[in-house]
Amino acid sequence: MFRIRCPYCGERDQIEFGYGGEAHIARPADPDALSDAQWADYVFMRTNTKGLFAERWVHSAGCRRWFNALRDTATDRFVATYVIGEAPPLPVPQLVPGDQAPDPAEAIPEEAAGGGQR
Amino acid sequence: MIDERRVSPLAHREPLHAGDFAHLAEDAFRGIVMVRAAPIHLAAPLQAVTGRTLPIRAGHADLGRRCAVLWLGPDEWAIMTAPDAAAQITQELSAELTGYHHQIVDVSDYNTVLTLRGSRVRELLAKLITIDLHPRHFARGTGVSTLCGKAQVWLVCREDETSAREPLFEVVVRRSMADYLWCLIADAGREWAMPVQDPIGQVPLHMPV
Ligand SMILES: [Zn+2]
């Protein structure tokens, strides 16, 4: 059992919260312009960080608001929580340009990346 | 319009007593109105319609004889009022907020209110709720949305040890979870000889380990 600080309600037990996956993934402005591989990358591919990780949580049994959290995936310790729209209070590796996995559309031929029929 | 044939979610239950330690009852047909709006737009209309001050701090409720206003989120509140008063409040508040982005919904029929009073109710509720219920932390005018067992509830402290002889809590729960919550609270009160209540359909209160 551990406690999570909701940015709106304060500290509450973890059973009141739900997990929402990696944070700060922007929906592509023009999905029609993307290849299937690029779209699949947006929908499915997530960084698999060991260490500080920005992720989304929802206080489902409390104020029912979504917020972002920085959690250390190695120790399961919550370092910070902050409201949606704010920048993370600490630098996180997943948001550093060039530190992410290469774009699969560039790295792999499209058929191999599971681009599908069109 | 009130339908005279209406049945409250816990109409099949009778109030329960565990000596002077805890008393459980349903406060049926209470009016409950959910309000979403920007606090800056809502504060004055709310004052005009209900006479209450908009609570802007998390976990607080402004209690009054006719109405209580409970903080639920940064732009969301619940108004708890007398039976049959919800429709008028909904109407008046909607009129006052015309032109502002808002949502006002009468959810009276969707919920019911359990009242729990007695000298040991804090200890009883502490078995089911993860929030600190010590009188210093959860005094009169505190209200939160949280989990009570598996049911999502709003818990409001209406009276505490300084304002009354014994604390009084209100637990607001959705209709479909009301019987489960009733039986769960009775189960938590076994220590003080609260009568056992069998859940409708014999659904087990606790998952087998
Ligand atoms: Zn919250």
Please indicate whether, in this complex, the C-beta atoms of A63 and B58 are within 8 angstroms of each other: yes
Check pLDDT > 90 for residue A29: yes
Is the CB of residue A62 less than 8 Å away from at least one CB of chain B? Answer: yes
CA dist B108 and B85 (Å) reads 10
- Retrieve residue A39's tokens: 């779209």
For the beta carbon of residue B197, count every other beta carbon within 10 angstroms.
19
* pLDDT of amino acid A108: 43
Question: Could you tell me what percent of chain B has a pLDDT over 90?
Answer: 92
At B104-162, the pLDDT tens digits run: 999 999 999 999 999 999 999 999 999 999 999 999 999 999 999 999 999 999 999 99
- Reference B21, options B136, B129, B125, B175; nearest CA is B125
Check pLDDT > 90 for residue B45: yes
Parallel/antiparallel/unpaired status of strands A10-13 and A18-22: unpaired
What domains appear along chain A, each with residue ranges and CATH number?
Answer: 3-107 (3.30.2270.10)
At B69-98, the pLDDT tens digits run: 999 999 999 999 998 899 999 999 999 999
Is the CB of residue A107 less than 8 Å away from at least one CB of chain B? Answer: no
Is the CB of residue B146 less than 8 Å away from at least one CB of chain A? Answer: yes
At A45-86, the pLDDT tens digits run: 999 899 999 999 999 999 999 999 999 999 999 999 999 999
pLDDT, mean over chain B: 95
At B131-143, the pLDDT tens digits run: 999 999 999 999 9
* pLDDT of amino acid A113: 40
CA dist B178 and B194 (Å) reads 18
* pLDDT of amino acid B203: 79
B143 CA distance to ligand 1 middle (Å): 13
In order, the DSSP letters of chain B are ---TT---TTTT---EEETTTEEEEEETT-EEEEEEE-HHHHHHHHHHHH-PPPP-STTBEEE-SSEEEEEEETTEEEEEESTT-HHHHHHHHHHHTTTS-EEEEE-GGGEEEEEEESTTHHHHHHTT--S---TTTS-TTBEEEEEETTEEEEEEEEE-TTTSSS-EEEEEEEGGGHHHHHHHHHHHTGGGTPPP-PPGGG--SS---
At A75-111, the pLDDT tens digits run: 999 999 999 999 999 999 888 765 554 444 444 444 4
Please indicate whether, in this complex, the C-beta atoms of B74 and A10 are within 8 angstroms of each other: no
Check pLDDT > 70 for residue A116: no
Minimal CA separation from B131 to chain A, in Å: 7
At B23-33, the pLDDT tens digits run: 999 999 999 99
Please indicate whether, in this complex, the C-beta atoms of B144 and A9 are within 8 angstroms of each other: yes
Minimal CA separation from B127 to chain A, in Å: 14
The predicted model gives B163-169 an average pLDDT of 96
Residues of B in contact with A65 (CB under 8 A): 73-74
* pLDDT of amino acid B146: 97
CA dist B108 and B174 (Å) reads 10
Residues of B in contact with A13 (CB under 8 A): 130-131
pTM: 0.89
Is the CB of residue A5 less than 8 Å away from at least one CB of chain B? Answer: no
The predicted model gives B58-76 an average pLDDT of 96
* pLDDT of amino acid A95: 82
Please indicate whether, in this complex, the C-beta atoms of B147 and A8 are within 8 angstroms of each other: no
What domains appear along chain B, each with residue ranges and CATH number?
Answer: 15-29+110-194 (3.30.1360.120), 31-107 (3.30.70.1520)
Instruction: Identify whether the C-beta of residue B167 lies closer than 8 Å to the C-beta of residue B117.
Output: yes
